[in-house]
Structure 1
Amino acid sequence: MGNTARLTNPIGPLQNYPVQLPSAPAWRGSERKFRNGAAGSILAAVLIMLAPATDAWSAESARPAPELTLSALDGMSRSLESVRGRLILIHFFATWCEPCRDEMAALDRLSVRMKDRLAILAVDVGEPEVRVRRFFDKQKVSFPILLDEDRATMKRWAVNAFPTSFLIDGTNAGLPIRLSATIPVDWDDPAAIRIIEHLVAGEAPGTEPLPTLKEQPSGESQ
């Protein structure tokens, strides 16, 4: 296989998402100035929402997944090595991100549907544990919620939008990223299930795009 195949958004307008992070220099400068306290969280949210969107999804060829080891809400540490041996879905999000909240229920249904064939690790970025715990006390999920409070893992993975998802071949020694998406994905859609099934079987994901989750009315989720 060759280099990463960048695919121009094949699925039309992205409505109000992805929620995009700004360029690295602007983000780092703002982070240095506001990295402590509520002001930092508010500024980060505003900057993320104002930045322009990029490609919605990409087929990946051989890029290895960066290191990931974080504590989870259940008090245990999780890493890519801890879920090696099956397809892995890494999902970066924040609880204040509305499309992220809408996608979470679909991810939970996907986790139940795929059972032992798919491991999901959801990474909350830049929020205190108490806030994340309060959110998931109300919205239970069947997969671990990891905490990237200092945003170090987000930076290591070059995440610049919420939500962002990566599908990784956990059966391969190099843990290559097979597919990435900077949209809220409709994981209930048959097209998404077909792509997952291809990857679980060790096949190429094909050219079918990951389906975008339709924007939910305010206060409503799937």
Structure 2
Amino acid sequence: MSDRAKTWLAALLALGALGLLLFSVRSVNVADEAGLTLRPAAQAEPASDFTLPDAATGRPVHLLAEARAHPVVLDFWATWCGPCREELPSLNRVAHKYAGRAAFYGVNSHDRPADIRAFARLYGMTFPTLSDARHDVASQYGADALPTLVIIDTRGNVRVASAGYDPQLDLEAALSRILDALLAGNPRHAARV
């Protein structure tokens, strides 16, 4: 390989590393300045419907069918995302607290189902993860930064969409207030959490 080709190869590798660094920095953005904010029903947008397979069982999950029964929390994540791992214990506790009253699903468009299952076992993930292999659902929900939390009410409307993880935010308390308000049918109590 000529010196010129080696120089170009080194430049391309450096550019690729810079791109990867910028992408990973984007994944650690903290939650928006307002924290997790419950949108008033009148301002909520309809959720994009989808059916995705559960990474552990292969069983198809139809989003709006789930949302008709109870609020749905979607957590867009990846195995390599540090902030995703940091928020997981809080999500596990809230998922356990609201079992039977709210549905929690991880949505992963970055990893193979086998890697998702291994991660779930290793980190004690208590709620199912859906495999979004074509990245369609993440794109529909604008989940460009990880983690991204989306909460859908029983009318099928997106009431919360928040990208990033803020370690200063009491995620467990914020999610509990939002879910309590949605379950009570009176979201005014949690207009800002």
Q: Under a length normalisation based on structure 1, what TM-score does the superposition of the two structures give?
A: 0.65
1:115 has 2:99 as partner? yes
For the pair 1:182 / 2:159, whether they are aligned, the reply is no
What is the distance in 1 between the residues matched to 2:179 and 2:20?
31
Partner Cα separation in structure 2 for residue 133 and residue 44 of structure 1: 28
How many angstroms does 1:137 deviate by? 2.2
Q: Is 2:45 aligned against 1:68?
A: no
Instruction: Give 1:128 shift.
Output: 1.5
1:55 matched to 2:37? The reply is no
Which structure shows the higher helix fraction? 2
> 150-159 or 91-100: which moved more?
150-159
Aligned length: 165
* TM-score (structure 2 length as normaliser): 0.74
> Which of 1 and 2 has greater Rg?
2
- 2:111 paired residue number: 127
CA distances 1:67-126 after superposition (whole Å, capped 9, x unpaired): 221111222111213413111111101111111011112111111111211111110122
Give the alignment partner of residue 136 of structure 1, picking from 120, 144, 147.
120
Stretches of structure 1 that go unaligned for 5 or more consecutive residues are 1-39, 210-222
- After superposition, what is the alpha-carbon deviation per residue over 1:35-76, rounded to whole angstroms, capped at 9, x for unaligned? xxxxx9x88853422449583545432200012211112221
Q: Tell me the C-alpha RMSD between the 2 structures.
A: 2.5
- Alignment partners' CA distance in 2, 1:45 and 1:67: 31
Task: Kindly report which structure 2 residues correspond to 1:94-113, keeping only aligned pairs within 5 A, or say none.
Answer: 94-113=78-97
Instruction: Give percent identity, aligned residues only.
Output: 27
